[in-house]
Structure 1
Amino acid sequence: MKTSLMCMECNIKQVIKLSKLLNISKEKQEVIIKKIFKELSEVSFEKSNPEIMGSITWKIITETTNNKNPYKEIKEYYNQALLDVFQDIKNVVLTSDDKFDTALKIAVIGNVIDFAARHKFDQNTVFEMIEKINEIDFVIDSRKELIDQLKNCKQLLYIGDNCGEIVLDKIFIEIIKELYPNIKIYFGVRGAPIINDVTTEDATQVKMDEVAIIISSGTMFPGTILEKSSDEFKKIFNTSDIVIAKGQGNYEGLSDIKRKGLFLMLLVKCSYIGDNIPAKVMDFILKENKLKS
């Protein structure tokens, strides 16, 4: 998915957020923003924003501040906050009329946790949305296609998105394993810290290895840029019967790839991405991204 002027705005807002978080001096802020403006002025809008964010904005910020993981403590906090209520949320799933559907919706609800998004949230937002889960529906709905393909699936790659929500992904994966015990499941993470995206460190904190094999993309992008991912990751992606890719960053990186079994699952948090889907901000999406027959 190509980038846009709105994406440029999000790059600059990330500088502002991190400047406040790290209490960066005005002098250093000026150095950072001038470097970023220079690079962004020359960037191709044919690239996706996750590629631009990782290769330019994030790289300049972290190198200038000498801090490669500025959200580390916040990420750990949200992972633990969701772990603390893991069983309570899982009980919502286990006592529901449709465990698969409820776990799927809860996994998407978790997508609200995003430090790069344009919307605002706090830790109670997730729980408030879960309380209203029966009111939630998918605007683009490939649930039937996903369930049909899971019945014959041998290998599934589930590509994670952000901290905190990874706990809700784990619940959904547990339900998939319970219903379809013969599927080999991989869980994809980023190759290095970027914003609040999931890394091996986050997956380890929530013990994702209990339900899936953790695999790194090998890249530092807030999304999946397949052509720049490691050979191992590309092999798993291409040989998996089903790929479930969570969140906007993965949507931006993978939406141009059309294949059976590629499911893009997200909560829309940006009107530019919403126009591309098409959908409205805060809509629930589960889209099989295959060629139209």
Structure 2
Amino acid sequence: MKLRLNCVICIAKQALEAARLATNDPKVQEEVLRSVLRRLTKMEWVGTPLQLVRASRVTELIEKLTGIDDPYKDLKKASNDEALAIADEVKSLIASHEDSLRAAVKVAIAGNIIDFVSVKAYDLRATIVKLLKQKPAIDDYSRLREEVLNAETLLYFADNAGEIVFDKLLIEEMIRV
């Protein structure tokens, strides 16, 4: 993803949200936000949003000011618990689909909504059911299926708690086919 001006605003907003998760002290929250804003204004806004987030060192700043090394710890656990609670049901949906690998891909895509930074409220079960019925805007599934069937090894990158449950179902399905 290419960095846009809105990304800078979003990074500042994420820093404030993380600070609020780490502490109830409004003075510390303000200090985190002011420090991140200072850092952001001194940087070149090039590269990707992730590069800018890393360069602004939000996580290190929050840990330094609050002593909390992971303000998202409780949210990660809740996301994992929510995904695990419906994992067996989702696995059955995948197995009953006419193309179980395609269904597993769609489920993994639906799992990507588990992003506590950008999405606040969602119905995971409804999202999965809806995506299983939809045709994707970009559909490279045939190529993916061919690559999976011909692969000797597979490297899969996962990035968020919660969605990893559905990524695991996809990986299991890739191995099965």
TM-score (norm 2): 0.90
Q: Secondary structure at the match of 1:102?
A: helix
Which residue number corresponds to residue 35 of structure 2?
35
CA contact (8 A) 2:32 2:61 kept: yes
Residue 127 (structure 1) shift: 0.3
Which residue number corresponds to residue 187 of structure 1?
none
Q: Distance in 1 between matches of 2:116 and 2:54?
A: 14
Which residue number corresponds to residue 269 of structure 1?
none
CA contact (8 A) 1:112 1:121 kept: no
CA contact (8 A) 1:113 1:121 kept: no
Post-superposition Cα deviations, 1:183-232, rounded to whole Å, max 9, x if no partner, equal xxxxxxxxxxxxxxxxxxxxxxxxxxxxxxxxxxxxxxxxxxxxxxxxxx
Higher strand share: 1
Q: Distance in 2 between matches of 1:62 and 1:136?
A: 42
Counterpart AA for 1:98 = D
Residue 170 (structure 1) shift: 0.5
Q: Distance in 2 between matches of 1:69 and 1:94?
A: 36
Match of 1:145 among 130, 143, 146: 143
Residue 110 (structure 1) shift: 0.6
Note if 1:176 corresponds to 2:177.
no
Which residue number corresponds to residue 3 of structure 2?
3
Q: Secondary structure at the match of 2:156?
A: strand
Which residue number corresponds to residue 135 of structure 1?
133
CA contact (8 A) 2:19 2:32 kept: no
Which residue number corresponds to residue 94 of structure 1?
95
Residue 134 (structure 1) shift: 4.0
Q: Relative contact order: is structure 1 or structure 2 higher (C-alpha 8 Å, sep ≥ 6)?
A: 2
4+ runs deviating over 4 angstroms: none
Q: Distance in 2 between matches of 1:94 and 1:29?
A: 47
Question: Percent identity, aligned pairs only?
Answer: 28
Unaligned 5+ runs, structure 1: 180-293
Match of 1:166 among 164, 167, 170: 164
Q: How does 1:232-251 map to 2 (within 5 A)?
A: none
Q: Distance in 2 between matches of 1:93 and 1:126?
A: 15
CA contact (8 A) 1:110 1:165 kept: yes
CA contact (8 A) 2:15 2:36 kept: no
Higher helix share: 2
Given the superposition, is the C-alpha separation of residues 55 and 24 from structure 1 closer, same or farther in structure 2, using an over 3 Å criterion? farther
Residue 18 (structure 1) shift: 2.3
49-58 or 157-166: bigger deviation: 49-58
Counterpart AA for 2:24 = I
Residue 9 (structure 1) shift: 1.3
CA contact (8 A) 2:23 2:29 kept: no
How many equivalent pairs are there?
176
Post-superposition Cα deviations, 1:156-202, rounded to whole Å, max 9, x if no partner, equal 211112111110001011000111xxxxxxxxxxxxxxxxxxxxxxx
* Larger Cα-atom Rg: 2
CA contact (8 A) 2:20 2:29 kept: no
Which residue number corresponds to residue 108 of structure 2?
107
Q: Secondary structure at the match of 2:150?
A: coil
Post-superposition Cα deviations, 1:28-73, rounded to whole Å, max 9, x if no partner, equal 1232122111110122222211122133223222322221111112
Q: Distance in 1 between matches of 2:2 and 2:171?
A: 31
Residue 133 (structure 1) shift: 3.4
Residue 154 (structure 1) shift: 1.7
Aligned-residue Cα RMSD (Å) equals 1.7
Counterpart AA for 1:152 = N
TM-score (norm 1): 0.56
CA contact (8 A) 1:32 1:60 kept: yes
CA contact (8 A) 1:2 1:45 kept: no
